[in-house]
Amino acid sequence: MNKHNLIFNLLIFVLIAGACAPPAPPKKKSATVKHNYIILLDLSDRLIIQKEQPDRDKTIIRSIFDVFEQKVKKELYIRSRDEIKVVIAPQRGSGIQADVFEDDLYINMGTIPNIYRRAKEAERKDTFNTSLDKLYKKAVFSKNPLDYYGADIWKYFYEDLKNDYSNDTLTSNFLFIITDGYPIVGKDPQKLQPVKNAFPDLHVILVEACPRDKDMEWDRLMDLWAKWFNDMNINKYTLIKRKAITKEIEQIKDIVSK
């Protein structure tokens, strides 16, 4: 067998071997980390006690929405499984149809068909902002603090958080509590019983805490929250005092981007 025939036969052998070899398994696409943004609102008399509080709340909420949008864009829309939802802490006497507003202020990218994810981005944002304005207009129903009941944040943790929290192992859950920091629970406004439900991957960010002008009020109030979170085995929490709105927003974005 001459040299040319040998090379020819080897080429034939390689081609046949390649054709008979099993196809290479398809490369698995790694799932992206889902971000679940939960924004819990305290719509008590804090809305009228603190100057421009509704506008401050809305500015903070919209900044969180911007963070959500940037995350969705980073995942090129079609890979995003992210969620954002605004929920209202239980509160007697407000007259707010919480379920209606919460529906309009909830976006789950995982349930939106791919064809609409980018095409209806502006429409989703407009609906979100319009609903937010309507909610706060409805929430400020009196100028008298005595007409407002306290927002029961404990009850939300006890009854509803388990439904908003995602147990997906590839999810980072963020709970933003927009409140002045004074929890109201029944007849004892300073007692928070631990909740037995487990929230292992939850970062709680308490925003707009505004202690009264008393000696050590901030320390005492924050110790109350810290003890409650620790008793529930929530290890990641940040307590943000009410200050210049731009500084609060910068701190929030820094937390979420880590």
CATH number at residue 82: 3.40.50.410
Report the alpha-carbon distance of residue 55 to residue 234 in Å, rounded.
30
Boundaries of domain holding 132: 34-257
Provide the pLDDT for residue 57: 98
> What is residue 214's DSSP assignment?
S
Question: Is residue 4 situated within a structural domain?
Answer: no
Distance (Å) of CA 140 to CA 95, 101, 126: 11, 15, 22
Which tokens go with 159? Answer: 């009854």
24 within domain boundaries? no
> Whose structure tokens read 């937010």?
132
- Do the domain assignments include residue 1? no
Q: Where are the alpha helices (DSSP H) in 147-241?
A: 153-155, 161-164, 217-231
Identify whether 77 is part of a domain: yes
pLDDT one-digit tens code per residue, 123-168: 999 999 999 999 999 999 999 999 998 899 999 999 999 999 999 8
Residue 23 lies in a domain: no
pTM of the model: 0.86
Q: How far apart are CA 138 and CA 71, in angstroms?
A: 30
Catalogue the E-assigned strands of 18-153. Answer: 34-41, 83-88, 106-108
Better-predicted residue by pLDDT, 6 or 156:
156
Q: Rounded to whole angstroms, how far apart are CA atoms 228 and 195?
A: 9
Q: pLDDT per residue over 239-254, tens digit each?
A: 999 999 999 999 999 9
Over the chain, what is the mean pLDDT?
Answer: 87
Give the residue from 242, 161, 207, 209 showing the smallest Cα distance to 64. 207
Q: Evaluate if residue 73 carries a pLDDT over 90.
A: yes
Residue count (the chain): 258
Looking at the 3D structure of the chain, how many domains does it have? 1
Task: With respect to residue 42, please indicate whether it lies within any of the assigned structural domains.
Answer: yes
Residue 18 domain flag = no
Q: Is 20 part of any domain?
A: no
